[in-house]
Amino acid sequence: MVLFKTSTKIIHQVEDFFGNIEQGALTFKKGVYNYLEGNSSGFQENIESIVVFERKADDIRHSVENNLYQRSLLPQHRGDILKLIDSIDDIVDMSKEILFQFDVEKPNIPVQLHNDYRKITAVTVSAIENLMSVARLFFTEPSKVRDSIHMVYKCEKEADKLALKIKREVFSSELGISLSEKFHLRYFTLHIENLSDLAEDIADLLNIMAIKRIV
């Protein structure tokens, strides 16, 4: 990473951090899929795995923060980099919390909605994966961030459309579920939608940071 050319250690730390976020997002997707399929053992393994990824990401984040301050590295970019890393760390935190909520509240998701929940989960994770690619570009080729970031926005818009579709289906009279169950499903749809919104917010931050680096 060109921005960190003075510190090989930080290069490896940031790459490890990004890798943990990506693995956490993939585990989140597997967790939702396993929940929908009724695979309890697989779902529990996903929860255990995402906890590990969250802890590793937190440890790496703290280490990067300490190195930036203790070694007085990149003072002109330090604030932005720390804000970026903190924001990206929220992705795996939120993913873990959503899986925990599935585990504790056990929403009754009608089979008619399973495919839509898979789709919104998949497109949300795609937004995160694209975001991590853009984050890497910020450190290597910031001039390419603006041209690459549109994929994050595209995935987020698709997640919004799917969320609206699910909510309309949930509140239709054809599913035969109670009003409280409808509110419950809207709640879980909103959580997944919020994860894609977080990816969009971080993409906005990256776009601004890239412009500042180029100017």
Other C-beta atoms lying within 10 Å of the C-beta of residue 101: 14
Distance CA 77, CA 144 (A): 18
Written as one letter, the residue type at 31 is G
The pLDDT tens digits for 60-94 are 999 888 877 766 555 666 778 888 999 999 999 99
CA distance 119 to 188: 14
Domains and CATH numbers, the chain: 2-214 (1.20.58.220)
| pLDDT value of position 7 | 62
Instruction: Transcribe 10-47 into DSSP letters.
Output: HHHHHHHHHHHHHHHHHHHHHHHHHHHHT-HHHHHHHH
Q: Is pLDDT above 70 for 110?
A: yes
Q: Is residue 100 scored above 90 in pLDDT?
A: yes
Burial of 110 (0-12, 13-18, 19+ CB in 10 A): middle
What band does 30 get if pLDDT is binned at 50, 70 and 90? very high
